[in-house]
Structure 1
Amino acid sequence: LPVLQNKPEPSNKPLRSPHRSGAQQTELHQTLWKVLGVDLTAIPTIGVDTALVLAGEIGTDLSRFPSSQHFCSWLGLAPPTRISGGHRLAGGGPKIVNRAAQALKQAASNARNDKGFIGASHRARLTRMDTSCAIKATAHQLARLVYNLLTKKQAYVEKGLEEFEARSQDRQVRALLRKARKLGYQLVAA
């Protein structure tokens, strides 16, 4: 997850909405920041409209959720746990209808065009899973970020595409080392 700063400040991200004028957007953005104590629109793909839905549905007090896992489960964005004997059981989990989850899924579907860390991770998910699962996984990532911002009252700091590429390369090297050890080989850096 990207690093969080200590002091919350409103982002300089351009605010666009087809429903409101620029002045209305700015006023809503400032009011949301004052009410929540953090700027949720600093997270890529989350706009003022999504932040409004989140503020209306979950509020500012997340003390009823002991962890981000509980929060994501309440939203219906947690991965399914219907597994028995190492195999997935047929059928999906319980259907949870939640406006906050729907807003996060909409924001996640917009992540494909984002040029930052979240966009890169979403595009990587799209290569290995179907679109609906990738959107749900990205919405889960966004929900964890929202939980951290609201509980720690720290501002979001984007790590960028370089951080994603470095993590991806590190993951690939570790996988190659594991595979070489399993086959009885030892890799030597060139």
Structure 2
Amino acid sequence: MTLLDTIPGVARRSAELLLAEVGVDMGCFPSAAHLCKWAGICPGNHESAANDNSDKTPPNYRWLRGMLVQMANAAVRCRTSYFASAYRRLDPRRGHKRAIIAVAHRLLIAVYHMLKQHQSYRDYRASDTGQRSQSQRLKKQQVERLGYQVQLVPLTLLNHRCRA
């Protein structure tokens, strides 16, 4: 329970229900993909020649899938989490429902690895921000060494200027 409480968007009640449905022992699932297939949260893929015929998820365990979708909706509300960034990346292309299913799929993969390795949740997006800003500073210094002047402008200002 304490491991699952570290995930953004997972409350105590949803962690209890998830453990009741899935269990604590992940030894019966060879991989996270097997758990997602069993839970019915994996993306459907039916190809014949070059035609993609279906994107529906399998209809297994609708209670578990509904709970995972609720957890994904809550995880998306935490703006600085990895799940929110994945949702923001997928929503414009795929739509809200498919993006939420994709976030629920990633959430279940994280749960599998946490229960398998007995480690708490680590948000990779939050841990990479310092490295990204450091690499951006290095790139700015490299460009300035070439003799150019660099001024970093926030992305929101650029978007605002393009619309005008």
What TM-score, normalized by structure 1, do the two folds share? 0.62
Quick one: percent identity of the two aligned structures?
Answer: 27
Contact between 1:111 and 1:122, CA under 8 Å: does it hold in 2?
Answer: no
3-state SS of 1:88 partner = strand
- Which 5+ residue runs of structure 1 have no aligned equivalent? 1-31, 34-38, 167-189
Q: Deviations over 1:35-63 (max 9, x none)?
A: xxxx1011111111110111111111121
The equivalent position to 2:67 in structure 1, one of 91, 103, 110, is: 103
What TM-score, normalized by structure 2, do the two folds share? 0.71
Aligned position for 1:134: 99
Give the whole-Å Cα distance in 2 for the aligned partners of 1:45 and 1:82.
31
Give the whole-Å Cα distance in 1 for the aligned partners of 2:86 and 2:11.
19
Residue 157 in 1 paired to residue 122 in 2?
yes
Query: What residue identity is the alignment partner of 2:98?
Result: C
Please report the RMSD computed on the Cα atoms of aligned residues, expressed in angstroms: 2.3
How big is the shift at 1:97?
A: 3.0
How big is the shift at 1:112?
A: 3.0
Q: Deviations over 1:103-129 (max 9, x none)?
A: 111011123321222111112111211
Larger radius of gyration: 2
The equivalent position to 2:32 in structure 1, one of 68, 93, 111, is: 68
Aligned position for 2:5: 41
Aligned position for 2:110: 145
How big is the shift at 1:93?
A: 5.5
- Which 5+ residue runs of structure 2 have no aligned equivalent? 133-147, 149-164
Question: Pairwise mapping of residues 11-22 of structure 1 onto structure 2 (< 5 A)?
Answer: none
Residue 85 in 1 paired to residue 85 in 2?
no
How big is the shift at 1:92?
A: 3.9
- Larger relative contact order (Cα-Cα within 8 Å, sequence gap ≥ 6): 1
Residue 53 in 1 paired to residue 17 in 2?
yes
Q: Deviations over 1:110-151 (max 9, x none)?
A: 233212221111121112111110110000000000000011
Contact between 1:82 and 1:93, CA under 8 Å: does it hold in 2?
Answer: no
In structure 2, do the counterparts of structure 1 residues 153 and 91 end up closer, same or farther at CA, with 3 Å as the change threshold?
closer
In structure 2, do the counterparts of structure 1 residues 90 and 157 end up closer, same or farther at CA, with 3 Å as the change threshold?
closer
In structure 2, do the counterparts of structure 1 residues 83 and 129 end up closer, same or farther at CA, with 3 Å as the change threshold?
same
More helix by share: 2
Query: What residue identity is the alignment partner of 2:30?
Result: P
Number of aligned residue pairs? 131
Give the whole-Å Cα distance in 1 for the aligned partners of 2:37 and 2:9.
21
Contact between 1:105 and 1:135, CA under 8 Å: does it hold in 2?
Answer: yes
